[in-house]
Chains A and B, each alone.
Chain A
Amino acid sequence: MSELLQFLFSGLTVGAVYALVALGFTIIYNASGVVNFAQGEFVMLGGMITVFAHAAGLPLPLAALLAIAATAAIGVGLNKFAIEPARGAPVVSLIIITIGASIFIRGAAQLIFDKQIHSFPSFSGDDPIHVMGATILTQSLWAIGGAFAVFVGLWLFFTRTILGRAVLATSNNRLAAQLVGINTDFVMTLSFTLSAAIGAFAGVLITPITMTSYDVGLGLALKGFAGAMLGGMGNPKGAFAGGLLLGLLEALTAGYLSSQYKEAAAFVVILAVLFFMPQGLFGSKSTDRV
Chain B
Amino acid sequence: MRISSKHLTLLVLAALIAVAPLFFPSGYYFRVGALIFVNALAVTGIVILTGYAGQISLGHAGFAGIGGYACALAPVHWGIPPALAVVLGALVSGILAYLVGRPILRLKGYYLGVASLGFGILVAMVLNNERQLTKGPDGIEVPDLGLRGLLKDWGLNLSNGEFWYAFTGICLLIGAWIALNLFNSPSGRALRALHGSEIAAGTVGIDVARVKLQAFVISAVYASVAGSLTALQNKFVTPDIAGFMHSVEMVTMAVLGGVGSVPGAILGAGILTLLPQVLTVFAEYEQLILGLVMMLVMIFLREGLVPSILRKIRGRGE
Q: How far is the CB of B55 from chain A (nearest CB, A)?
A: 7
Answer whether residue B298 sits at the interface, using C-beta atoms and an 8 A cutoff. yes
Answer whether residue B207 sits at the interface, using C-beta atoms and an 8 A cutoff. no
Contact B295 A229 (CB under 8 A): no
Interface majority SS (helix, strand, loop, mixed), chain B:
helix
Chosen A-B contacts, 30 in total, with CB atoms closer than 8 Å, are A35-B114, A90-B196, A91-B56, A91-B110, A93-B302, A95-B56, A95-B110, A97-B299, A99-B248, A99-B251, A100-B252, A100-B293, A100-B295, A100-B298, A104-B287, A104-B291, A107-B287, A107-B290, A108-B288, A111-B285, A222-B121, A225-B114, A226-B118, A267-B122, A268-B122, A274-B107, A274-B114, A274-B115, A287-B107, A288-B108
Answer whether residue A261 sits at the interface, using C-beta atoms and an 8 A cutoff. yes
If A266-B118, A267-B122 touch, whether A91 touches B299 (CB-CB below 8 Å) is no
Residues in A whose Cβ lies below 8 Å from that of B295: 82, 97, 100-101, 104
Name the interface residues of A66-113: CB closer than 8 Å to any CB of B: 82, 85-86, 89-93, 95-97, 99-108, 110-111
Q: How large is the interface on A (under 10, 10 to 19, 20 to 34, 35 or more residues)?
A: 35 or more
Most buried by A among B100, B104, B114, B199: B114
Q: How far is the CB of B181 from chain A (nearest CB, A)?
A: 23
Q: How large is the interface on B (under 10, 10 to 19, 20 to 34, 35 or more residues)?
A: 35 or more
Answer whether residue B286 sits at the interface, using C-beta atoms and an 8 A cutoff. yes
Contact A102 B111 (CB under 8 A): no
In angstroms, Cα B128 to Cα A263, docked, is 13
- Which chain A residue lies CB-closest to B106? A278
In angstroms, Cα B58 to Cα A35, docked, is 14
In angstroms, Cα B259 to Cα A26, docked, is 29
Contact B284 A100 (CB under 8 A): no
Partner of B284, one of A97, A111, A266: A111
In angstroms, Cα B116 to Cα A267, docked, is 10
Contact B129 A260 (CB under 8 A): yes
Answer whether residue A156 sits at the interface, using C-beta atoms and an 8 A cutoff. no
If A85-B299, A99-B248, A101-B295 touch, whether A110 touches B287 (CB-CB below 8 Å) is yes
Answer whether residue B125 sits at the interface, using C-beta atoms and an 8 A cutoff. yes
Contact A92 B294 (CB under 8 A): no
Q: How far is the CB of A80 from chain B (nearest CB, A)?
A: 12
In angstroms, Cα B55 to Cα A90, docked, is 10
Residues in A whose Cβ lies below 8 Å from that of B110: 35, 91, 95
Contact B121 A278 (CB under 8 A): no
Contact A263 B125 (CB under 8 A): yes
Contact A96 B255 (CB under 8 A): yes
Contact B294 A106 (CB under 8 A): no
